Each structure stands twice: as structure tokens, then as C-alpha cells.
Amino acid sequence: MNVCIYGASSTALDDVYYRESEKLGEQLAKNGYGLVFGAGNRGLMGSAARGAHAGDGYILGIVPSFFDMPGVIYQDCTELITTETMRERKQLMEEHSDAIVVLPGGIGTFEEFFEIYTLKQLGRVRHPIIIFNINRYYDPLLAMLEHAVREHFLDEEAMQLFVISNSVEEVIETLKNSDQLSDTQYRKYENMQ
């Protein structure tokens, strides 16, 4: 199984984010999961990749050609795919993975999460989606989604399309149960063509 991660490229974060992301990458590798990511050398992406490398795991980086600048691309990928656009990058990350883990991030990570979340609600993907809530970073986002449910902008069942994990151990346990997760999660629009 390959696990795609979305996450920050920032180098200005509290150390806890880097430590937990690196630990996640290492535990993914040690549990036999390949890592699919945006090939970034910095931030949480780079930390997760370094962890996977330390665990002797498979690492697939997918990156747009315009990011090919010194220090930007992680150099120890097992395999590196170059794309022309960000949209193509996201599509290939989705196609090469079996599950998604959302690390803390900024606008790019939010956009990736909401796109895969929407595709899952529409029944276009079956990937388990795990929000790794390091340092309770995503609490405000979850509160916003819960507010959207209360105001009837979002179906209550849509909150079952992802899992919140507050530790690396919870992420790994969720991945181990991902077959059951995919079979039981809500898919109101699964049969839409």
C-alpha cells in the first residue's frame, strides 16, 4: 500500500511538527507502506521523506518541473516523476496512492484536502483520508466543518469521510484497518456517473 501525504513546505514551524512528521514517515516505512508526496525537501514533506528514508521505505516524489531549483526537491526519492502542472501532480499523487494522510499545512494543503474530500463525497475516490492533527492544528478546521453541518451546508454523514488521528500510532492503526474503513464510510454519490 502506498500512502500519499499532503503537508507544509514551511521551514518556520514549531519543532513538534517536524518531529512528528519524520516519525510518521519512518513508521510508514517500517510497517511496509510506500510514501507518495510532492517531492519537497523542506517542511513537513521533507521531514516525512527523511523518516521514510531512515526506515528504508519506498519514496515516490511527484513534482512540477518549475520546482526544479536548488534545494527544493528531495534528492533521495526511490522514484521521481516530473509533471508540467500542479493539477497533473495532484492527479498522479492520487493515482499512485491507496490512502491519504493530511499533515498540517497552509493554503496548498487545504486545497489538496478539500479536493480529495470533495471527490470522496462524490464517490470518485475510495481512499481513506486521515487528518493527522499534530498539536491540535486542525481543531479550528474541524470546528468550521461542524458549523457547516449545523447550518446545513454540509451533510452530517460527510463528517464520516475522514478520520482524525492525534498521534503517529493512531495513523498507523487507521491504515491497518483501512479496508474496513473504505467499505463502511458514507458514499451518498458513489453511483453517479
Each residue's pLDDT tens digit, 5-43: 999 999 999 999 999 999 999 999 999 999 999 999 999
> How many angstroms separate the CA atoms of 184 and 181, rounded?
5
What residues pair up with 2 in beta bridges, in sequence order? 34
CA 52 and chain centroid, separation: 14
Grid cell digits, residue 87? 493539477
> How many angstroms separate the CA atoms of 74 and 169, rounded?
25
Residue 166 class from Cβ within 10 Å (0-12 exposed, 13-18 middle, 19+ buried)? middle
> How many angstroms separate the CA atoms of 53 and 88, rounded?
25
Predicted local confidence at residue 68, as pLDDT: 83
Grid cell digits, residue 162? 475522514
First to last CA, the chain: 27
Helices and strands, counts by H and E, the chain: 7, 7
Contact partners, residue 113, CB within 8 Å, separation at least 6: 6, 102, 129, 131
> How many angstroms separate the CA atoms of 183 and 29, rounded?
25
Grid cell digits, residue 13? 514551524
pLDDT tens track for 72-86: 899 999 999 999 999
pLDDT tens track for 59-117: 999 999 998 888 889 999 999 999 999 999 999 999 999 999 999 999 999 999 999 99
